[in-house]
Amino acid sequence: MKNKTLQPKNQGIATILAFALIPLSGFATDVYIPSPPTMARELSVSDLQVQLTLGMFLISYGVAQLFVGSLLDSFGRFKIGLVSLLIFALASIVIANTSNIYLIYMMRIIHGITVGAIVVSKRAFFVDVFSGEKLKNYLSMFSIIWATAPIIAPFVGGYLQSWFGWQSNFYFLAVFAFVILTLELIYSGETIRQKMDFSLRKIAAVYLEMVSTASFTLGIVMLGFSYGMVMIYNMTGPFVIEHKLGLSPIVAGYSSLLLGGAVMVGGLFGKATINKPFIKKLTINLCLQFLVVVLMLFSSRFVANLYSMIFFAFLIHACSGYTFNTFFTFCLSRFPKNAGIAGGLTGGINYVIVSFLSYGVIALIPAKDELNLAYSYALLIGLSILVMFLIFKLDKKSLKE
């Protein structure tokens, strides 16, 4: 394995394995979405303390991506990815065998760091191996593939929770990681074309160039707002369904499955309109999202049940999926010579925004009912409109120049 490179005959299987790992961050959060109420009861901690396990993962995942890209561009993708998979699996087993919330926090931080390394290395894999229209096509599939996690994971997690308890969700993650690790050892290999010297000065210059590119940075902010809407539901929806509406974890799992499908629908529309005018299609999408949240705010005062909440959330998440797909493709293809760093910054800043934003919004507007969820959506949609206005002004300025 010392100098193992990807063999051309294995490129197809290695690509499938890379796609299988793209949604790992979603699996690590969504598989136990139906479980927080049960975890809070069995661990004898508050709902907010259990919700913080998601926050710990998101923050560490985001911060890790900010730095791991430079390591991947300097030392390669393959070995770092393998070691990260192994550590991720072991951390999952530890979580399943402890009742100490603080140890769970520590393992979730390790989850975030290792998933950051795995996902960024696989994003870079595509930029290493493919180019041109084929690369653009694959990049536009990322958010669609990523959306399989919020579809499959809560559905699986709901049944695992009901049959075997919340710990089984983390055993599932461990088994998944061990299986992919074995297949990676057999079929995958190193793909980096040219390693970058690990010079802090050079790396800092690349980071500065990317962050100072306004279109790139604002694009990442839009990613944070769009995914923030999805994450706020993930952190509050199960409590509304199980506590306010008195329904089961399986119902919460099915609801999350539907909303994961919404993100995928949005991603598919994003891929279908990949060559349409950038500003125009995003403006139309944001206007639709704004209209839906206004209707949700109005109707929640008269009708508020599972069906109305999921109906409006589905439409809002579909629009979020469209925004995410469009900006994700744009940001990842912006700096092809430094794919690891670009992927790391894109994912890293996005998740840092999402983690602080979602936890802050939940603290400000608690997970109480459909109306509060609508207020949370409205806040993020309002912020998205402001950022989109800045992007519009920036685009207008660049056309004049």
pLDDT digits (tens, 9 = 90+) for 354-371: 878 887 888 888 777 888
- Between CA 189 and CA 344 the distance in angstroms is 20
- Between CA 344 and CA 248 the distance in angstroms is 38
Per cent of the chain over pLDDT 70 is: 94
Query: According to the model, what pLDDT value does residue 2 have?
Result: 57
Query: According to the model, what pLDDT value does residue 131 have?
Result: 72
Average pLDDT over all residues of the chain: 84
CA distances from 361 to 58, 130, 246, 321, 374 (A): 15, 39, 24, 20, 12
User: Is residue 143 very low, low, confident or very high in pLDDT (cuts 50, 70, 90)?
Assistant: low
Query: According to the model, what pLDDT value does residue 347 have?
Result: 75
Residues 344-354: b if buried by 16+ CB within 10 A, e if exposed = bbbbbbbbbbb
Query: According to the model, what pLDDT value does residue 400 have?
Result: 46
CA 158 to chain centre: 20
Average pLDDT of the segment spanning 272-286: 87
Q: What is the pLDDT of residues 22-49, one digit of tens each?
A: 888 888 887 887 787 888 888 888 877 8
Give domain 10-400's CATH number out of 1.10.3720.10, 1.20.1250.20, 3.20.20.70, 3.30.500.10: 1.20.1250.20
Q: What is the pLDDT of residues 57-108, one digit of tens each?
A: 888 887 887 778 778 877 878 888 899 999 999 999 999 999 899 999 999 9
- Between CA 307 and CA 181 the distance in angstroms is 40
In terms of average pLDDT, the best of 17-31, 243-257, 333-347, 374-388 is: 374-388
Question: Measured at the alpha carbon of residue 367, what is the angle toward residues 143 and 350, in degrees to the nearest 5?
Answer: 30
Average pLDDT of the segment spanning 288-314: 92
Average pLDDT of the segment spanning 112-132: 85
